[in-house]
Amino acid sequence: EDQVTQSPEALRLQEGESSSLNCSYTVSGLRGLFWYRQDPGKGPEFLFTLYSAGEEKEKERLKATLTKKESFLHITAPKPEDSATYLCAVKSITGGGNKLTFGTGTQLKVEL
């Protein structure tokens, strides 16, 4: 069974204070690791997909990296508008073909 664990559960940063969110996963054959952002009262919004160890993707102040056991979402010089819950999910060969298994998320708060 695919498993995804995210840490920390919550993170409070000052504006401009860079940090990283962690996503550890256990799958039998990774087809993709996904990062989503979720704002209160809304559905998750797609950020990145990573496929193989060593791969990196960037979007504005966010950079996602992938190893064989975990992924990191690095946030550089965050702003208050980056406050949200960040979700990690995996798709695996044994996961039914096209379904995502999500972690419980990291709730990020960026303060002025």
> What is the distance between the alpha carbons of residues 26 and 101, in angstroms, rounded to a whole number?
11
Q: Is 55 in the site for another protein (CB under 8 A)?
A: no
Per CB under 8 A, the segment of 10-18, 20-28, 64-72, 96-104 that binds another protein is: 96-104
CB under 8 A: which stretch of 12-20, 60-68, 75-83, 84-92 binds another protein? 84-92
CB of 34 to another protein, least distance (A): 5
- Taking the complex as a whole, how short is the minimal distance between the CB of residue 105 and another protein, in angstroms? 6
Under 8 Å between Cβ of 70 and 23: yes
Task: Find tokens 């702003």 and name the residue.
Answer: 79
Residue 9 contacts by C-beta under 8 Å, 6 or more apart in sequence?
Answer: 104, 105, 106, 107
Hey, which residues does 53 pair with through a beta bridge?
none
Instruction: Please give the residue ranges that form the binding site for another protein (CB under 8 A).
Output: 31-32, 34, 36, 41-46, 49, 87, 89, 91, 96-105
